[in-house]
Amino acid sequence: MDDRSPLDKVTVRALSPSSVAGQWCLQQYFEELDKRLPEGFDRNRDALTDHTEFSGVGCVFLVASVDGHWVGCGGLKRLTSASAYIKRMWVDEAWRGRGIGRRLLTLLENQAKDLGYSVVKLETNRLLHEAIQLYRTQGYQGVTPFVEEPCADYWFEKSLESGLPE
């Protein structure tokens, strides 16, 4: 019998979004958005048109796996010298509610701090209730839109210096 909690079995690695794991997770993310959003998801209207945004200096893309199966992802990209944009947060529906999203978010925040950012920002759709709840419980505060994102209804930010919004 394995006494480890499900979260103990999760491995999170920084990978290229172009890797097989990155591409698979992103495809699942896009397919889920297409199913959940009433108007579907048009990748051509998205604020990030490709995934090279996660490959540059000041960026990172994380993939979570359990026993070799990819279960989640999230990316961090530079907005300004002081702020980073968290994007493409996704956890497989079968693995939600086990702390994987919170772990990915915390790791992305820690990466942002290590890269010298003082604020992280993100946005989400009103129908992604799990995401909204996660962001609010992790100290994110509502702000005015900082990117033009057609599918977004909420924009959030979190100060990395004090945990409070700027």
Token pair, residue 131, equals 């995401």
How many Cβ atoms sit within 10 Å of the Cβ of residue 12? 19
Strands 119-124 and 83-91: parallel
Structural domain count of the chain: 1
For residues 158 and 119, the answer to whether their CB atoms sit within 8 Å is: yes
For residue 57, what is the domain's CATH number? 3.40.630.30
Token pair, residue 67, equals 């026993």
pLDDT class for 49, splitting at 50, 70, 90? low
Calculate what percentage of the chain has a pLDDT beyond 90: 70
pTM of the model: 0.88
Inside any domain, residue 144: no
Domain of residue 12 covers: 6-117
Encode pLDDT of 98-107 as tens digits: 999 999 999 9
Token pair, residue 158, equals 């979190």
Residue 99, sorted as left (phi over 0), alpha (psi -120 to 50) or beta, turns out to be: left
